[in-house]
Structure 1
Amino acid sequence: MPLPQVPGVLTAEQAAATGDWIASVQLPSGAIPWFPGGHVDPWDHVQAAMGLTVAGHADAAARAFAWLGEAQADDGTWAAKYVDGEVVEDHVDANFCAYVAVGALHHHRVTGDDAVLARTWPVVRAAVDAVLTLQADDGTVRWARSADGSVADESLLTGNASIHMSLRCAIALGRVVGVDVTDWQDAAARLRHALDEHPERFSPRGRHAMDWYYPVLGGALHPDEASVLLDKRWDEFVVDDLGIRCVHDHPWVTGAETCELVLALDAAGRHDDAVAMLAAMQHLRDDDGSYWTGLVYADGKRWPVETSTWTAATVLLAADALSRTTGANGLFRGEGLAATAPGEDLAAYPEEPCPCLAS
């Protein structure tokens, strides 16, 4: 399987080393912690699994999805944090739970492995149904549910934008397995309306870069709209030759956020800017192929003092998108994903059907 490479930025050999490093951190259970000896959360676990898939470790990624199936609660959710297989934060984060759909579609588009999809589809279906129990009448999805069943009264922009992409991936998966997902389409359309027309429905987190670029990820916006949105706050977050600030008021650049911006720029059709941003964050690369999470550039110190699997994975996803290497390289551009406008005809977004998986 060819590996992503971006001339002058990342070689195929370097991409392989990064994938090998992520694989070395994976636990025998299939879980992928943030860093060696660290905790596991469902969202970053899925991101790391996608990095494994891009780097040719499809079997390791399949074990990661198997862990999700084993750890999933009866109601379709996961706890927010695990250490050594034990729950240490027991609330349910809606975005964390929804993201399995992105990983499952990504794995299938890269590998075409129907057996893995057949095992993962029930996990996705239960997770998405659980997430949608947290969707409010205004279309937004409340960010969390506590162990006692109480639901948070906040909806977060970044999380909802990510959930929107997860719903679009879940809809595409439903079409692959031949299942009617009209209810998911309607839920996604309501959420998209809230994201586009009612920003006041989301709790303000404007100091965070993710609130800036996440609405662009997945290609739900027209490239011209996306580019205008990215230009609007470019100078607040972008630090030349280093990457982007995680928050606009601190001298701290982070690798994963920079690479997510790469994916957003790619979705907006700004290839040169995207390549430049991927190049800018390579100062975080370590000799073993891992990536440091961030750098406080005011004093030249890495912080936190960790190399993180999800950062390494996002580098690989960005390189794949820019190099057009795997069958999932267009996922974050929204290729083959419905935009979820009200009344949109899903037939315009065909996935290769696999009727044997229908249930």
Structure 2
Amino acid sequence: MISSEQVVQTAKSIAAIQQADGGVPWPEGHVDAWNHIECLMAMSVAGLTDEVRQGYAYLLRHQRPDGSWPAKLQDGEPLESNGESNHAAYLAVGVWHELLVTGDEDFAARLWPAVKLALDYVVGLQTDRGEIVWERDARGRASDYALLTGCSSIHQGLRCGVALAERLRDPQPHWELAADRLAHVVRAHPEAFADKSRFSMDWYYPVLGGAVRGPEAFELLHRDWATFVVPGLGIRCVSDQPWVTGAETCELVLALDALGDQGRARALFGDMQHLRHEDGSYWTGWQFANRKHFPHERSGYTAAAVILAADALQGLTAAAGIFRDAAAPAAPAAPATNPDACGCTPARA
């Protein structure tokens, strides 16, 4: 474990890269909404409220009328204008997290119109079967395929949106239905998603995002544990390279914590601490065949994942359970409105 003082030090390493306009960039210099929000969540854990609120103001300035954000922004201008569904969905996670940490319902109410726009953009990309395609391009055309990691994260976004809607007394039942349908497809229809199975995120994200829990989740993680986990170092980013990454390792920590598997969660969290820099920041990854940091950078999103994992394991804030709570309250066998839309029947599901 790292101490609360080390958590603050790490959060300050994120604040140190935050730009004057409030954006939290990748090492390459661009901002995307998903990683930006993750960094805001991490700084909130450490009590850096001013920096966090500047970051949400940045999101409000750059949200488009359809509810999306450009996939990449640099110096306030779009580098890539497509709008990714998982980016839009993560605003609900961030705002719900901020409300849990601070109790500031006025802040949540100010962000609520943006959350509604964003999640309605997301559910507008849901197919008849239930998966949510990954983007609209710069001309507004929906993609023709979905991503398992993205949809798993979207599932958490929809669940957080439902919780936020209930708290603010503005129910959005269509989001809950969309989440139920999406969870079913994640659990039962691997053919719905583009094959990205070499990436560890496609392995554990269905658990992290709450679509898969219980015995099925343990079985899923057991299946590829030896493929991705490198004892003493963390987990691989991709199955075919000798490269462990801190963010993916800490996300697996969060998934294990969500299942109550504290032993393996804590062990993995300890294993990845070799990536910690003396200033509290974290190297993105370690190429263990060449014994070099790769890429040669320290990333805000890696530091953010460490802080969120530390919060989950140590209960530093009232938002420590935000990943545990992403699971569906009930797991319907098939989409409630049209059981045959995905090609299943309840008896077979």
TM-score above 0.5, yes or no: yes
Q: Which deviates more, 104-113 or 143-152?
A: 143-152
Whole-angstrom distance in 1 between the partners of 2:323 and 2:228: 21
Please say if residues 250 and 305 of structure 2, whose CA atoms lie closer than 8 Å, have aligned partners that are also in contact. Answer: yes
Residue 231 (1) aligns with residue 222 (2): yes
Deviation at 1:224, TM superposition (A): 2.5
Deviation at 1:55, TM superposition (A): 1.1
Please say if residues 207 and 247 of structure 1, whose CA atoms lie closer than 8 Å, have aligned partners that are also in contact. Answer: yes
When residues 257 and 62 of structure 1 are mapped into structure 2, their CA distance, relative to the original with a 3 A threshold, is same
Please say if residues 77 and 92 of structure 1, whose CA atoms lie closer than 8 Å, have aligned partners that are also in contact. Answer: yes
Deviation at 1:327, TM superposition (A): 0.4
When residues 162 and 30 of structure 1 are mapped into structure 2, their CA distance, relative to the original with a 3 A threshold, is same
Please say if residues 157 and 203 of structure 1, whose CA atoms lie closer than 8 Å, have aligned partners that are also in contact. Answer: yes
Give the paired residue count: 334
Whole-angstrom distance in 2 between the partners of 1:31 and 1:249: 33
Residue 30 (1) aligns with residue 22 (2): yes
Please say if residues 51 and 313 of structure 1, whose CA atoms lie closer than 8 Å, have aligned partners that are also in contact. Answer: yes
Deviation at 1:340, TM superposition (A): 5.6
Alignment correspondent of 1:183: 174
Aligned residue for 1:313, secondary structure, equals helix
Whole-angstrom distance in 1 between the partners of 2:55 and 2:64: 16
Equivalent residue letter for 1:89: E
Please say if residues 49 and 64 of structure 1, whose CA atoms lie closer than 8 Å, have aligned partners that are also in contact. Answer: yes
Aligned residue for 2:139, secondary structure, equals coil
Alignment correspondent of 1:4: none
Alignment correspondent of 2:109: 118
Aligned residue for 1:128, secondary structure, equals helix
Within a 5 Å distance, the mapping from 1:4-15 to structure 2 comes to 9-15=1-7
Within a 5 Å distance, the mapping from 1:7-86 to structure 2 comes to 9-35=1-27, 38-86=29-77
Q: TM-score, normalised by structure 2?
A: 0.93
Alignment correspondent of 1:200: 191
Residue 98 (1) aligns with residue 89 (2): yes
Equivalent residue letter for 1:265: L
Whole-angstrom distance in 1 between the partners of 2:89 and 2:210: 18
Please say if residues 220 and 339 of structure 1, whose CA atoms lie closer than 8 Å, have aligned partners that are also in contact. Answer: no
- Pick from 294, 297, 310 the counterpart of residue 303 of structure 1: 294
Please say if residues 154 and 209 of structure 2, whose CA atoms lie closer than 8 Å, have aligned partners that are also in contact. Answer: no
Alignment correspondent of 2:331: 341
Please say if residues 293 and 303 of structure 1, whose CA atoms lie closer than 8 Å, have aligned partners that are also in contact. Answer: yes
Unaligned runs of 5+ in 1: 1-8, 345-359
Please say if residues 68 and 83 of structure 2, whose CA atoms lie closer than 8 Å, have aligned partners that are also in contact. Answer: yes
The 4+ residue runs of structure 1 with deviation greater than 4 A are none
Alignment correspondent of 2:140: 149
Residue 211 (1) aligns with residue 202 (2): yes
Aligned residue for 1:88, secondary structure, equals strand
Alignment correspondent of 2:338: none
Aligned residue for 1:316, secondary structure, equals helix
Deviation at 1:159, TM superposition (A): 0.5
RMSD: 1.5
Residue 166 (1) aligns with residue 157 (2): yes
Whole-angstrom distance in 2 between the partners of 1:266 and 1:99: 20
Deviation at 1:339, TM superposition (A): 3.3
Q: Deviations over 1:213-232 (max 9, x none)?
A: 00111444333222111111
Deviation at 1:299, TM superposition (A): 0.5
Whole-angstrom distance in 1 between the partners of 2:186 and 2:135: 18
Whole-angstrom distance in 2 between the partners of 1:29 and 1:119: 19
Whole-angstrom distance in 2 between the partners of 1:339 and 1:294: 36
Aligned residue for 2:78, secondary structure, equals strand
Unaligned runs of 5+ in 2: 335-349
Q: TM-score, normalised by structure 1?
A: 0.90
Deviation at 1:20, TM superposition (A): 0.9
Alignment correspondent of 1:356: none
Whole-angstrom distance in 1 between the partners of 2:4 and 2:172: 38
Whole-angstrom distance in 2 between the partners of 1:224 and 1:193: 16
Alignment correspondent of 2:234: 243
Deviation at 1:62, TM superposition (A): 1.7
Q: Deviations over 1:264-286 (max 9, x none)?
A: 11011110100110111111111
Q: Deviations over 1:215-264 (max 9, x none)?
A: 11144433322211111100000001110000011001000000000001
Aligned residue for 2:95, secondary structure, equals helix
Whole-angstrom distance in 2 between the partners of 1:200 and 1:302: 35
Please say if residues 53 and 107 of structure 1, whose CA atoms lie closer than 8 Å, have aligned partners that are also in contact. Answer: yes
When residues 191 and 78 of structure 1 are mapped into structure 2, their CA distance, relative to the original with a 3 A threshold, is same
Whole-angstrom distance in 1 between the partners of 2:256 and 2:322: 13
When residues 66 and 73 of structure 1 are mapped into structure 2, their CA distance, relative to the original with a 3 A threshold, is same
Please say if residues 186 and 211 of structure 2, whose CA atoms lie closer than 8 Å, have aligned partners that are also in contact. Answer: no
